[in-house]
Amino acid sequence: MTLSPFHLAIPVYDLAAARTFYGEVFGLEEGRSSTQWVDFNFYGHQLVIHEHPKTASQESVHSNPVDGHDVPVPHFGIILGWQQWEALAERLKSFGTQFVIEPYIRFQGQVGEQATMFLFDPCGNALEFKAFKDMSQLFAK
């Protein structure tokens, strides 16, 4: 399957903290930037952080129950290869990352089994990173 890169622009109320987080903690390559926004190579996709006043979802977290955990909504992320996901989990732990949902295997032994973890960036944007050992399970019911 060939995927086209997506473009996602998110609000951040502290551009410097968000720039450090995505650049240093995640190790994402920085692209173009200005005094109000920064592009990052987000695993082959274009993630742009835009300076913006705090949003309602950054102020007060909403969540929905999934597999016994409170999943923050809205959120975004990427599906990585299994080994990439494990390496990212270790990298984030080495930076002392506070997880909303610690890295674990969701739906273990069931259709759609996946590795997942949730965290917030410094501006309250929720991120999810997941992996499937069997990518054919991505949309399985």
Average pLDDT over all residues of the chain: 94
46 Cβ neighbours under 8 A, 6+ residues apart: 5, 6, 7, 8, 31, 39, 40
The pTM of the whole model exceeds 0.85: yes
- List, for residues 76-123, the tens digit of each pLDDT value: 999 999 999 999 999 999 999 999 999 999 988 888 889 999 999 999
- List, for residues 29-43, the tens digit of each pLDDT value: 999 999 999 999 999
pLDDT of residue 140: 84
The terminus-to-terminus CA distance of the chain in angstroms comes to 20
CA 116/CA 95 separation, integer angstroms: 18
pLDDT at 124 over 90: yes
Name the token pair of 102.
Answer: 């610690």
In terms of DSSP bridges, do strands 45-51 and 62-66 run parallel, antiparallel, or are they unpaired? Answer: unpaired
Q: What is the largest CA-CA distance in the chain?
A: 48
pLDDT of residue 33: 97
